[in-house]
A and B are shown apart, each in its own frame.
Chain A
Amino acid sequence: MTGPRIEETGSEETTRVETASLRTLVQYAGASGDFYEMHYDIPFAQARGHRELAVHGLLKTAWLGRLVEEWFAGRGAITVLDVSYRGMDFRDEPVTCGGRVTGRDGARVALEVWTASADGTRTTIGTAEVELTEGPV
């Protein structure tokens, strides 16, 4: 992953693949305090029509936040992260997390962010704003 050349908005993007194991889901439940059974109790999830344990939406958002924070590390900070969940992702399945610079207004950089399941379906869509603390590199 390299730093964005933000003067070329629209052409810079970064992606990373994350996979949540049962251990990941339990770790996230413990750290976040979200113990909704759909994320670790397979009979509970299946009784609600899900084929597998669902990845927490907020874990996917955390992955996106980390992606952007590490992308802009030392050069800026997220001021807004806004996502909408359009589909579920499930344990042990790869989730591609992506970010793309879409514009700049002064020190503020606008990004599109998303997650996609293995078949390419975008399961999370959203935007982020980064306030630069340094000029573009």
Chain B
Amino acid sequence: MTDTDDTGTVTGSFEALQAAVGWTAEQRVDVVERRHLRDYRRAIGADEDGTDVPVTITACFLTEPPTMPEALAYGMGWINGGDRFEVHRPLQLGDEVTSQLTFTGAQEKVGRTGTLALLTFVTEFRLPDGTLAVRHVGTRVRR
């Protein structure tokens, strides 16, 4: 189906979103660095001098909002629908993680404000030896 925005402008299609399932962002490598950890802890209201790595730190290693063209072509903007962090090995200061965001599913719904698409993105964060550290599932909404 083809969607229109509030001005009647035709935007991207849900079919295009469905066809994009399996899309991946570029692989990235991130390191839990002391300065970044301090900035993140300060931003979330934690003691900035603490060295414990918050469970949500991998949010910083996601590409947000996702850059998938089919998503950007659908609707006018992003809303965050939900986040799930599964911790298999807690991250520590100095850890290097490799990750790649994958688009895994799309669902179209009619809400109070019109048609929207629920998009699911999965990202696995692995240590250099391949150990899965964190799996993140993000539900992002385009409307």
Q: Is the interface of B mostly helix, strand, loop or mixed?
A: mixed
Interface hub of B83, B90, B139 (most chain A Cβ within 10 A): B83
How far apart are the CA atoms of A7 and B39 in the complex, in Å?
37
The reply to whether B85 and A28 form a contact with Cβ atoms under 8 Å apart is no
The reply to whether B83 and A27 form a contact with Cβ atoms under 8 Å apart is no
With A27-B43, A33-B64 already in contact, the answer to whether A83 and B83 are too (CB < 8 A) is yes
The reply to whether B56 and A31 form a contact with Cβ atoms under 8 Å apart is no
Identify which of B42, B79, B87 contacts A77 (C-beta below 8 A). Answer: B87
The reply to whether B80 and A32 form a contact with Cβ atoms under 8 Å apart is no
Identify which of B39, B76, B80 contacts A30 (C-beta below 8 A). Answer: B39
List CB contacts (< 8 Å) of A72-92 with chain B. 77-85
The reply to whether A69 and B81 form a contact with Cβ atoms under 8 Å apart is no
A97's closest neighbor in chain B, by CB?
B45
Contacts beyond the supplied A65-B85, A66-B45, A81-B56: 20 A-B pairs with Cβ under 8 Å: A27-B43, A31-B40, A31-B42, A33-B62, A33-B63, A49-B113, A57-B82, A57-B83, A62-B59, A65-B56, A66-B44, A69-B52, A69-B55, A78-B55, A81-B55, A81-B84, A81-B85, A82-B84, A83-B84, A85-B80
How far apart are the CA atoms of A8 and B143 in the complex, in Å?
43
Asked if B34 is at the interface of the complex by the 8 Å CB criterion, the answer is no
Distance from B3 Cβ to chain A, minimum over Cβ atoms (Å): 16
How far apart are the CA atoms of A56 and B80 in the complex, in Å?
8
List CB contacts (< 8 Å) of A26-77 with chain B. 27-28, 30-34, 36, 38, 48-49, 56-59, 61-63, 65-66, 68-70, 77
The reply to whether B86 and A61 form a contact with Cβ atoms under 8 Å apart is no
Distance from A94 Cβ to chain B, minimum over Cβ atoms (Å): 13
* Across-interface contacts of A78 in B (CB, < 8 A): 55, 85, 87
With A24-B43, A27-B43, A57-B80 already in contact, the answer to whether A32 and B64 are too (CB < 8 A) is yes
* Across-interface contacts of A68 in B (CB, < 8 A): 55
